[in-house]
Amino acid sequence: MRRHLQLSIKQLTAGYINGQLSPLQVAEQALEDAVKLKTLNALVRATPELARQQAQESTERYTKQQPIGELDGITVAIKDNFCTANVHTTCASRMLQDFVPPYDATMSARLREAGAVLVGKTNMDQFAMGAGTVDSIYGPTKNIWSEDLASQDNWRIAGGSSGGSASAVAAGLCYAAIGSDTGGSTRNPASYCGVVGLKPTYGLCSRHGLIPLVNSMDVPGILTRSVSDCVQVLNAVAGPDPLDSTSVQRPYKKLQLPEVDQIDLSSLRIGIPKEYHCDELSAEVLETWTKVADLLETAGAKVRQVSLPNTAASIFVYTILNQCEVASNMARYDGIEYGHRAADERSTEQLYAQSRAEGFNQVVKTRILTGNFLLLRKNYDHYFEKALRVRRLIAEDFAKVFETQQEADKVDILLTPTTLSDAPVYKDFITLSNRDQCAVQDFCTQPANMAGIPAVSIPVRLSKAGLPLSLQLMSNSFNEQLLLTVARWIEAEVSFDSLQSLQRHAI
Partner 1 sequence: MRNYIVVRRLATQPKLANAPKRKWKSVVGLEVHAQIASVSKLFSGSGTAFGAPLNTGVAYFDASIPGTLPVLNRKCVESGIKTALALGCRVNEVSMFDRKHYFYADLPNGYQITQQRAALANNGLMTFPVITPGKKVYYKSVNLLQLQLEQDSGKSLHDDYLKRSLVDLNRAGLPLMELVFAPDLETGEEAASLVKELMLILRRLQTCSCKMEEGALRVDANISIHQEGDPLGVRTEVKNIGSVRSISQAISYEINRQLELVADGGVVTNETRNWDAENRRTVAMRDKEVLQDYRFMPEPNLPPLHLNLKPGCRSTKELISVAELSEQIPELPEHTRQRLMEHYKLNAETAIILVNEPVLLEHFVNISKSLAGVPTKVITNFLINDLLTYCNKLNLDVDDCAISAEALKDVLQALHAEQINLQAARQLIQLLHNNPSQTVSQLVTENNLQQICDLASIEAYCQQAIANQPKAVQQYQKGKSKALFAIVGEVAKLSAQKANMKLAVECLEKLLKKQQ
DSSP code at position 409: G
Contacting range for partner 1; rule: CB under 8 A; set: 46-54, 206-214, 282-290, 446-454: 206-214
In the complex with partner 1, the residue whose CB is nearer, 89 or 226, is: 89
Instruction: Give the nearer residue to partner 1 in terms of CB position, either 91 or 484.
Output: 91
Distant-in-sequence, close-in-space partners of 261: CB < 8 Å, separation ≥ 6: none
Q: Does 331 bind partner 1 (CB under 8 A)?
A: yes
Applying CB under 8 A, does 246 fall inside the site for partner 1?
Answer: yes
Binding of residue 249 to partner 1 (CB under 8 A): yes
SS3 486: helix
* Cα dihedral 376, 382, 388, 391 sign: negative
Q: Kindly determine how many residues on this chain lie close enough to bind partner 1 according to the rule CB under 8 A.
A: 45
Cα-Cα-Cα-Cα torsion 388, 392, 394, 397, nearest 10 degrees, comes to -170
Q: Is 151 in the active site?
A: no
56 near 6, Cβ under 8 Å? no
Stretch that binds partner 1, among 129-137, 192-200, 326-334, 412-420 (CB under 8 A): 326-334
427 in catalytic set: no
Residue 94 or 410 with smaller CB distance to partner 1: 94
209 binds partner 1 (CB under 8 A): yes
For residue 210, give the nearest of 184, 235, 181 by alpha carbon. 181
Identity of the residue, 267 or 347, whose beta carbon is nearer to partner 1 in the bound complex: 347
Nearest alpha carbon to residue 221 among 104, 210, 69: 210
Nearer to partner 1, 62 or 82 (CB): 82
Applying CB under 8 A, among 280, 349, 381, 407 the residue interacting with partner 1 is: 349
380 lies in the binding site for partner 1 (CB under 8 A): yes
Q: How far is the CB of 397 from partner 1 (least distance, A)?
A: 22
At its nearest, how many Å lie between partner 1 and the CB of residue 330? 8
Shortest spacing between CB 19 and partner 1, in angstroms: 39
The answer for 270, left when phi > 0, alpha when psi is -120 to 50, beta otherwise, is: beta
CB atoms within 10 A of CB 277: 13
Interaction between residue 376 and partner 1 (CB under 8 A):
yes
Single out the residue of 109, 28, 19 nearest to residue 64, CA to CA.
19
Please report whether residue 212 would count as binding partner 1 according to CB under 8 A: yes
Dihedral angle of Cα 129, 309, 414, 456, to the nearest 10 degrees: 0
Q: How far apart are CA 130 and CA 256, in angstroms?
A: 34
The active-site residue, picked from 22, 146, 162, 185, is: 185
Distance CA 184, CA 318 (A): 11
Active site residue 79: yes
Contact letters (x/-) for partner 1, 87-116, by CB under 8 A?
--x-x----x--x-xxx-x-----------
Q: Could you give the residue ranges of the DSSP H alpha helices within 331-445?
A: 348-359, 362-375, 377-380, 386-403, 426-429, 434-441
Complex with partner 1: residue 108 or 310, whichever CB lies closer? 108
Q: Does 213 bind partner 1 (CB under 8 A)?
A: no
Distance CA 129, CA 355 (A): 19
Residues that are catalytic: 79, 161, 185
Interface residues with partner 1 (CB under 8 A)? 82-83, 89, 91, 96, 99, 101-103, 105, 207-212, 214-216, 242-246, 249, 324-325, 327-328, 330-332, 334, 336-338, 348-349, 352, 372, 375-377, 380, 384
